[in-house]
Structure 1
Amino acid sequence: MNVHQVYPEQYDAQLGTKQQRITTLFSDLLPNQCELEVFSSPTTHYRQRAEFKIWHENNTAHYAMYQRGEYKRPFIINDFPVASQVITETMPHLLEAINHNEVLKRKLFQVEFLSTLSGEVLITMIYHKPLDDQWQTQAELLQTHLRDTLCCSLKDTVKEVGKETAQNTAHHHVVTHLDIIGRSRKQKRCLGRDYVMETFSLNNGSFQYQQPEGAFTQPNANVCEHMLDWAVSASKAFSGDLLELYCGIGNFTLPLASNFRHVLATEISKTSVAAALENLKTNHVNNVKIVRMSSEEFSQAMDGVRQFRRLEGIDLNDYRFSTVFVDPPRAGLDDHTVSITQKFDRILYVSCNPETLKANLNTICQTHRIERFALFDQFPYTDHIECGVSLVKK
């Protein structure tokens, strides 16, 4: 996508092209009775994350992005309609304040935003200089200024349209919480929390998530809710225990746990594991254990190839695994993990890369058949496609 080009009127046609691509790519694996389920995105303000380079010109800082392969030619960003309403409302206020403060502006080279459906926003300012106490003092003043400025939006809305209407619009348009983090080489200064709290409202309940700065979270929150509902629905009739690989902060873990007796989940990132444990506690989910291991390591443990200290206190023989859930990175599953998934009666596979998904399913479908297949449009106006597949052993 060209960083300036967003055409909502073309969205349906672009989504149709993606649908045709998936139908064609998986035509040899999809049973005739399996209809592709398609979940669309809002056409604007759908990204809860955004990051921008800071381009300095004539002593003025600008938000900028680069086309792939053209890293010396910045595109100045004055409007970014794909970002959440919370981010787009915050951006101009932040930039104006930066340009009026040499301490905050000097050596600033990147700004990252993380926001939520409930109106929280976390701003990370990244520098090519050490961050000293003078920077922190100015950044704290900036944080206070942004909180005061952006919170006025709700007050003004109350005056104009009344309290009840204002509360209804606040979900999408008003900043409810704002924090700033400063980063430079081997340095991190938090002026408040280093995470946001997201709430997803699903068919089987409402779930709260601590989403830390730097941890992976689904960027399109509205589509993420569709993905979670779909996964819960697809596994509703399952039983026994669930093994989840690549659990992250527990995005799928929390809602899926209600469909199973016990869940054992793996994740390699310390930050994500800490957030996942906190999210289990916050949501009173008591039938899940998380181990900090890669999927490859856990596969070796299941096969008895290696023993791991991180599995001390967990007896894999106590589990009656019927289902495995995988949400791997773009590279897909390695061959050994694919062979492990084939031992399960049921497989739930969420993929961010149709090509590696197809390669994995070419093997998996030797032992399993596809029951449900979904397309989730996380990234409108791009070629990116997210898929969900539910399979059962033949």
Structure 2
Amino acid sequence: MTGTHFDPAGYDAQLAAKRERLAQLLAPFDAPQARVFESPREHYRLRAEFRLWRENEERFYAMFAPGDNRTPILIDDFPIASRQINDLMPRLKAGWQASTALSHKLFQVEFLTTLAGDALITLCYHRKLDAHWQAAAEPLAAELGVSLIGRAKGQRIVIGNDQVIEKLTVAGREYSYRQPEGSFTQPNGRVNEKMLAWAYEALGERSDDLLELYCGNGNFTLPLATRVRRVLATEISKTSVYAALGNLEDNRVGNVTLVRLSAEELTEALNEVRPFRRLQGIDLKSYAFGSVFVDPPRAGMDPDTCELTRRFERILYISCNPETLATNIAQLHDTHRIERCALFDQFPYTHHMESGVLLVRR
């Protein structure tokens, strides 16, 4: 692997820099010292995406530096990716090199793997896929032991399954997760388990109800539901909603009501600004919410949603952007204090970090 910032020898120093950065951002709010959860040094990333670069009739895995799409960094192996991805890379390459039907106008490859050993590969093309492609792809998928998806404009051909199954253990219980192709999943499985365990512990055993915003495929919903009486969870992505509903059923979690609403729409519903057909049959006033759990996108919570969370005794917040986390906490600091905080190193060798805080009413 060439041209990346992969440097296991420098891991401790880069993690210390993240710890200091988070401490500085949360210092104005008298935050306690963050609990730090390290990542494996290598083979931690469960998904990877590569463009393909053609030289002398051969296609290579390639990546590009930010802002430069003309100078490829050719990839033979990818030590930050799972061992399964590294095992599949040369075998997949040999497969397309041996088949014009597979290699013709192939421009991108996406890998999705799980700690449980499941794998799905997506091949993206600048041409329409035909019966010759499928005839070549089916034996390759069988040989690799994976599901395979071919994508072209207006086309999606699935060989096997269009999702993988992950299994994560929290507080001694194993949870099964459907992870559909193309939907968001946490890339670092081991750190994800640590995030789930921290959130489970921080929420504690409760006798009231939980509101969850941005629930995705139910990553946090499943273990947190075992800590409360009932959960009302919201998510706007249809793909994620369907996966979450399946995950709730697969894990026999029966105390969660999931509605397809954005956080902003739910805020309007709770404020009785306007009714929503998707909430028909759900009595919002029957819930005794004591806590709210949020895992928003990088932009953080909008001001109205942030103001909504102020109503709750406890706010459990997972963030992928410490700057917007600090902005949201500044809005809440007059009514809530930080009782716990954590740093989860989801993205080693980058400046990105995942963090978590538990805010409780003063």
TM-score by length of 1: 0.90
How many Å apart are 1:204 and its aligned residue?
Answer: 4.3
Q: Equivalent residues in 2 for 1:109-258 (5 A)?
A: 109-147=107-145, 178-258=146-226
Match of 1:90 among 88, 91, 94: 88
2:314 equivalent to 1:346: yes
Q: Equivalent residues in 2 for 1:211-360 (5 A)?
A: 211-360=179-328
- SS in structure 2 at match of 1:26: helix
How many Å apart are 1:330 and its aligned residue?
Answer: 0.3
How many Å apart are 1:6 and its aligned residue?
Answer: 1.2
Given that residues 77 and 89 in structure 2 are in contact (C-alpha distance below 8 angstroms), is that contact kept between their aligned partners in structure 1? Answer: no
Given that residues 59 and 97 in structure 2 are in contact (C-alpha distance below 8 angstroms), is that contact kept between their aligned partners in structure 1? Answer: yes
Q: Residues of 2 paired with 1:30 and 1:113: CA distance?
A: 42
- SS in structure 1 at match of 2:177: strand
Given that residues 150 and 156 in structure 2 are in contact (C-alpha distance below 8 angstroms), is that contact kept between their aligned partners in structure 1? Answer: yes
Q: Single out whichever of 287-296 and 71-80 deviates more from structure 2.
A: 71-80
Q: Residues of 2 paired with 1:234 and 1:204: CA distance?
A: 16
How many Å apart are 1:5 and its aligned residue?
Answer: 3.2
Counterpart amino acid of residue 299 in structure 2: A
- SS in structure 1 at match of 2:86: helix
How many Å apart are 1:3 and its aligned residue?
Answer: 4.7
Q: Equivalent residues in 2 for 1:343-382 (5 A)?
A: 343-382=311-350
- SS in structure 2 at match of 1:124: strand
How many Å apart are 1:30 and its aligned residue?
Answer: 2.7
Q: Residues of 2 paired with 1:208 and 1:343: CA distance?
A: 33
Q: Residues of 1 paired with 2:142 and 2:288: CA distance?
A: 52
Describe the superposition over 1:138-190 as per-residue Cα deviations: whole angstroms up to 9, x where unpaired: 1102112223xxxxxxxxxxxxxxxxxxxxxxxxxxxxxx1100001111000
Q: Residues of 1 paired with 2:206 and 2:230: CA distance?
A: 12
Q: Do the aligned partners of residues 7 and 278 (structure 1) sit closer, same or farther apart at CA in structure 2, a change above 3 Å counting? A: same
Q: Residues of 2 paired with 1:293 and 1:273: CA distance?
A: 10
How many Å apart are 1:228 and its aligned residue?
Answer: 0.1
- SS in structure 1 at match of 2:217: coil
Given that residues 205 and 228 in structure 2 are in contact (C-alpha distance below 8 angstroms), is that contact kept between their aligned partners in structure 1? Answer: no
Counterpart amino acid of residue 138 in structure 1: A
How many Å apart are 1:59 and its aligned residue?
Answer: 0.6
Q: Residues of 2 paired with 1:128 and 1:366: CA distance?
A: 54
TM-score by length of 2: 0.98
Describe the superposition over 1:244-293 as per-residue Cα deviations: whole angstroms up to 9, x where unpaired: 00000000000000111000000111111111001001101000010001
Given that residues 3 and 65 in structure 1 are in contact (C-alpha distance below 8 angstroms), is that contact kept between their aligned partners in structure 2? Answer: no
1:81 corresponds in structure 2 to 79
Q: Residues of 2 paired with 1:205 and 1:146: CA distance?
A: 31
How many Å apart are 1:371 and its aligned residue?
Answer: 0.5
- Give the count of matched residue pairs: 362
Identity of aligned residues (%): 53
- SS in structure 1 at match of 2:27: coil
Counterpart amino acid of residue 311 in structure 1: L
1:18 corresponds in structure 2 to 18
2:50 corresponds in structure 1 to 52
- SS in structure 2 at match of 1:340: helix
Counterpart amino acid of residue 225 in structure 2: A
Q: Residues of 2 paired with 1:289 and 1:108: CA distance?
A: 42
How many Å apart are 1:56 and its aligned residue?
Answer: 1.3
Q: Residues of 2 paired with 1:131 and 1:369: CA distance?
A: 56
Given that residues 34 and 341 in structure 2 are in contact (C-alpha distance below 8 angstroms), is that contact kept between their aligned partners in structure 1? Answer: yes
2:353 corresponds in structure 1 to 385
Given that residues 346 and 391 in structure 1 are in contact (C-alpha distance below 8 angstroms), is that contact kept between their aligned partners in structure 2? Answer: yes
How many Å apart are 1:79 and its aligned residue?
Answer: 1.6
1:165 corresponds in structure 2 to none
How many Å apart are 1:122 and its aligned residue?
Answer: 0.4
- SS in structure 1 at match of 2:9: helix
Q: Residues of 1 paired with 2:189 and 2:33: CA distance?
A: 25
User: Which structure 1 residue ranges, 5 or more long, are not aligned?
Assistant: 148-177
Q: What's the RMSD between the two structures over aligned residues?
A: 1.2
How many Å apart are 1:239 and its aligned residue?
Answer: 3.3
Describe the superposition over 1:365-392 as per-residue Cα deviations: whole angstroms up to 9, x where unpaired: 1110100000000000000011001011
Given that residues 206 and 229 in structure 2 are in contact (C-alpha distance below 8 angstroms), is that contact kept between their aligned partners in structure 1? Answer: no
